[in-house]
Amino acid sequence: MSRFVYADNAATTAVKPEVISEMMPYFTDKWGNPSSLHKKGREAAIALEEARARIAACLGAEAKEIYFTSCGSESDNWAIKGAAALGRAKGKTHIITSKIEHHAVLHTCEALEKDGFEVTYVGVDAEGFVNVDEIKTAISDKTAVVAIMTANNEIGTIEPIAEIAKIAHAHGALMFTDAVQAVGNIPVDVRALGVDMLALSGHKIHTPKGIGALYIKKGVRIRNLIDGGGQERGKRGGTENLPYIMGLARAMELAVERLPKMAEVARLRDRLRDELLKIPHTSLNGPRADEKRLPGNLNIGFEYIEGESISLLLDAEGICVSTGSACASASLDPSHVLLATGVPHERAHGSVRFSISDDTTAEDIDYILEKLPPVITRLREMSPLYSEAKAAHLI
């Protein structure tokens, strides 16, 4: 192995040194419990609220609208289940989401269906854009919450959240967006989006795993998911993970600072895309328009072979990629996202996601372009599907 290239940043990211530096004092000197009344506790409480304000500033929110969680999945669960409970108390027992959401959203909605809620799963077009007309048709005064992700984790589609939020509010429904993939890749402002709730996760923006946040607009009073000792203004029980929260605050600031660099990330992605599409029998999954796709996201379908085999052979060359969401990697089923966009089952199985970041270099792209084509050739030479297609003169 002559080089290491990490192109799976949508799954998780390396922890930044600046984030570690921000965290360290809260492991060693400032280790108090923010709920304690003594000096150590007050010191921790001050830091906690300063971190809350720093994160809020990065999102265009107020400090009191930020609540800390353990991860993006917890934030998704809290937002949707909390909004559903609030809605049920008002006779609202309907939820709208999309077919391409993260499983933390889809499985939460499935659980609520078992609890008596009706859920509408709206479709998407071939590029992954949510069908807004379906939302307009499905929504009613019985709708408690509309839950649509800001940007898709597999194909990078950036959804029209502000437009959807206006539709939700016109019918008295809450608007929630999972912005886990969007934060750090595109500007995210809760006021501009018009959302009532927004989820984010630290490990997607260079913190350790185990810290997330949920924005809840002032005046929105959803039910608690975790009850406890009154932390987070009585809304989320459990002693706050102060070192990780401090790391999240620094990571959010760094994410905002590097947004101008994402144009260069997009240029590297486009070069990778253009060269890979020169390989016969390949196709682009997701949006064609650069501005409608996350800058570091590229999803390519390689016909007649398996994405898992591509990933394993690239790993042997020191290149990390994925075949879709890391949270579904144990499943042998093709991506639900790709199937929802109309990608055939067999081509969905041969799709690979490359997710690069501002740490990715031109030399990294060169290395992928050097190692990947021979992998595709090797796998196709072993593929019965490829042989059958050649024998039938389909290729």
Active site residues: 327
Beta-strand pair 212-216/66-69: antiparallel
- Do residues 187 and 207 touch, judged by C-beta distance below 8 A? no
**How many Cβ atoms sit within 10 Å of the Cβ of residue 192?**
11
Q: What letter does residue 40 receive in the DSSP assignment? A: H
Residues facing residue 322 across a β-bridge: 353
Q: For tokens 């682009």, what's the residue?
A: 284
Q: What letter does residue 305 receive in the DSSP assignment? A: S
Beta-strand pair 319-320/66-69: unpaired
First to last CA, the chain: 33
- Round to whole Å and give the CA distance between 272 and 274: 6
- Round to whole Å and give the CA distance between 109 and 113: 6
Q: Which long-range contacts (CB under 8 A, 24 or more apart) does 160-167 make?
A: 160/129, 160/130, 160/132, 161/193, 161/194, 161/195, 162/192, 162/193, 162/194, 163/132, 164/130, 164/132, 164/135, 165/193, 165/194, 165/195, 165/196, 166/194, 167/132, 167/135, 167/136, 167/139
- Round to whole Å and give the CA distance between 352 and 267: 19
Q: How many CA atoms lie within 13 A of 160 on its CB side?
A: 12
- Do residues 328 and 232 touch, judged by C-beta distance below 8 A? no
- Do residues 236 and 66 touch, judged by C-beta distance below 8 A? no
Q: How far is CA 316 from the centre of its chain?
A: 27
